[in-house]
Structure 1
Amino acid sequence: MDLAILDFIQERVRSPLLDSVMLLATHLGDLALVWLVVAAVLIAQPARRRYGVAVIAAVVAAAAVGMFVLKPLFGRVRPFAAHGFTGLLIPPPSGDSFPSNHSMASFAAAAAICCLPKGGRGVSALKAGAVAVALLIAVSRIYLYVHYPTDILAGAVIGIGIGMLSVWAVGKLWPKAPPGA
């Protein structure tokens, strides 16, 4: 099923416009830079600082779990290498395919962002934007033939768990404000 989805995208969906959109989307996930920028903006706001720290913790934890634990454990060959695909639009990524670290880090960050308390200016838009960007980055990895759909799905699920765990851990470790402060 994974291969059928990848091939369907290449044969029926791919277009020059989508090529440009997906290249931009995948580069948003490179080094999790987009998420680190959001984290910096949150850290600059005292009321949201702990969530910015949680976003950074989520991205770092997701990257570490993916690169040092899960990818070596599963050792899944990337689809372009396994199936001789020669239409890559990006340089061939190194490393294993499962799970997608772009997806895992993106959904970890988006989950942490979605834990922001309701209220405040722009919080709902920030949450919706974070989910939309995470989805776009994940889909770009399938579109570009560098991950199977199951790599993306696993990365998203694991990333959400890591993001929520990061918010919880930062909340437990963050010093509480004294009463009346």
Structure 2
Amino acid sequence: MDLSEINMELFKAINHLSYQLELLNPLMIFLAKYMEYILIAGVIIYWFTRTKENRIMVISAIISFIVAEIFGKLLGKIHSNFQPFVELQNTNKLIDHAIDNSFPSDHAIQFFSICIVFLFFKKNLRYIWLALAILVAISRIWVGVHYPLDVIVGALLGTITALLSCWVIPRVHFIDKLLVLYVRGEQYVIDKVTN
């Protein structure tokens, strides 16, 4: 059995759980379709807690995500495949999705590039962030819009850029200086609004 066949068989095994465990379908649909809005809200909330650590974390996460997305788009030019619901019969497609290149998974890139950064900065919540990224990746297979390799490659890209970002960004003094300028500007605006 070659890699392509393993990919398809693993997809079928996960996607067909949606027939057997229908009670979980609403949760998987929520994770696959709407959890990214909660992640974005989390990024915004962390930023506006106004601690330096949280802001360095958010900057690291955003840079990680941007770099991972760029590499994801480049990989998508090298290899492409349509979503499973286009290529395979008996796919249980639980959410609407445009027909396009599904490799690698943008959702996996997004969640791993951000959640792995959060995992390193927020050690007390590390298992929550890791579980969230994994659950979203699985949900994209469950609802029929990605193959396992789509999410595995997206997760690897996100993880690699997150690790590099966590190592590099806190050491870049230029970012510290920009953050100081931003904080001064933010405080100026707050003072003007509150007075």
Where on the TM-score scale, by shorter chain, does this alignment land: which range?
0.7 to 0.9
Pairing 1:53–2:54 present: no
Is contact 1:58–1:109 with CA below 8 Å preserved after alignment? yes
Q: Aligned ranges for residues 14-93 of structure 1 at < 5 Å? A: 14=19, 15-29=21-35, 32-44=36-48, 45-48=50-53, 49-66=55-72, 68-85=73-90, 87-93=92-98
SS at match of 2:176: coil
Change (3 A) 1:107 1:151: same
Residues 35 and 55 of structure 1 are in contact (CA less than 8 Å); yes or no, is this contact kept in structure 2? Answer: no
The runs of 5 or more residues in structure 1 that have no matched partner are 117-122
| Deviation (angstroms), 1:157 | 1.0
Structure 2 distance, partners of 1:143, 1:78, is: 12
Pairwise CA distance, 1:46: 1.6
Identity %: 24
> Structure 2 unaligned runs (5+)?
1-5, 181-195
Give the helix-richer structure, 1 or 2: 2
- Going from structure 1 to structure 2, the CA distance change for 1:10 and 1:39 (only over 3 Å counts) comes to closer
In 1: Cα distance, 2:79 partner to 2:70 partner: 15
Let me know the Cα RMSD of the aligned residues.
2.4
- Size of the alignment, in residue pairs? 169
- Offset of residue 85 of structure 1: 4.1
How many Å separate the matches in 2 of 1:28 and 1:130? 16
Q: Distance in 1 between matches of 2:45 and 2:104?
A: 28
The structure with the larger Rg is 2
The answer as to whether partners of 1:62 and 1:101 remain within 8 angstroms in 2 is: no
TM-score (ref. length: structure 1): 0.81
Q: Are residues 43 and 18 of structure 1, via their aligned partners in 2, closer, same or farther at CA, if it must alter by over 3 Å?
A: same
CA distance in 2, matches of 1:27, 1:86: 18
Instruction: Output the amino acid matched with 2:26.
Output: S
SS state of the match for residue 37, structure 2? helix
**Paired residues of 1:103 and 1:155 also in contact (CA < 8 A):** yes
2-structure distance, mates of 1:62, 1:37: 20
Equivalent residues of 1:79, 1:85 under 8 A apart? no
